[in-house]
Amino acid sequence: GAVVSQHPSWVICKSGTSVKIECRSLDFQATTMFWYRQFPKQSLMLMATSNEGSKATYEQGVEKDKFLINHASLTLSTLTVTSAHPEDSSFYICSARGRTGGTDTQYFGPGTRLTVL
Amino acid sequence: RKEVEQDPGPFNVPEGATVAFNCTYSNSASQSFFWYRQDCRKEPKLLMSVYSSGNEDGRFTAQLNRASQYISLLIRDSKLSDSATYLCVVNVDPRGTYKYIFGTGTRLKVLA
């Protein structure tokens, strides 16, 4: 099946620093990638939709200047959390849209656990 | 009202039991439906898509009731390895942009 990787799998950083998370589709081209955030015991919340070669579409309440998304190629999207603060600590998961058995589905990366001190 | 609602559980069942989860969605224009499984501190993994006619995959059966706007997942002969959180996922954008809305998940614990 389709594989999506994320790097790093976990990161600890100081408040005020920026953190970049990479999401790659390994065996298929993904014109659309999605970035989610999941706080403990809560559901995945869509942050933004990333389309290759165009600006990301952010969900309501997500600051586009704080969460910078770049989708420069069909296999790579990056999320940069700028000036991270402790409240940004969360599990960040990307997904890539692919097609299996004639059905479009989303394949998820393994997630990146961010802890901001 | 949440767009996708699930009973958070936990459902504690003995091995071999049959357990069913329901999920309701609010947007009648929702196009596609899925059940994902999420293990603790891991990413969600697709368990199965849900089709209007209902579908089965081994011990798992999914059904969709569009009139009542709910989806169900039935697990027969529960295994210890079935312990996880089961996420109901709905694609709510009729334009096919595949924007997924996740339920909060139903936690299942299968006991020996």
Q: With beta carbons under 8 A apart, name residues in chain B contacting A45.
A: 102
Do residue B101 and residue A42 have CB atoms under 8 angstroms apart? Answer: no
In order along its 117 residues, chain A shows pLDDT tens digits of 568 999 999 999 999 999 999 999 988 888 789 999 999 888 899 999 988 888 899 999 999 999 999 988 889 999 999 999 999 999 999 999 876 666 667 889 999 999 999
10 Å CB burial of residue A20 (0-12, 13-18, 19+) is middle
Q: With beta carbons under 8 A apart, name residues in chain B contacting A103.
A: 32, 49
For residue A64, CA distances in Å to A16, A50, A82 come to: 17, 12, 10
> Is any Cβ of chain B less than 8 angstroms from the Cβ of A44?
yes
Do residue A44 and residue B44 have CB atoms under 8 angstroms apart? Answer: yes
Across the strands, what pairs with B23? Answer: B6, B71
Q: What residues contact residue B29 under an 8 Å CB cut-off, 6+ apart?
A: B92, B94
- Count of alpha carbons within 13 angstroms of residue B17, beta-carbon side: 15
Residue whose tokens read 């299996």: A100
Rg for chain B, CA atoms, rounded:
14
Do residue B43 and residue A108 have CB atoms under 8 angstroms apart? Answer: yes
In tens, the pLDDT along B61-103 reads: 999 999 999 999 999 999 999 999 999 999 877 665 667 889 9
Do residue B42 and residue A107 have CB atoms under 8 angstroms apart? Answer: no
Look at residues A18, A16, A4, A20 and name the one whose alpha carbon lies nearest to residue A69. Answer: A20
> Is any Cβ of chain B less than 8 angstroms from the Cβ of A105?
yes
Do residue B43 and residue A106 have CB atoms under 8 angstroms apart? Answer: no
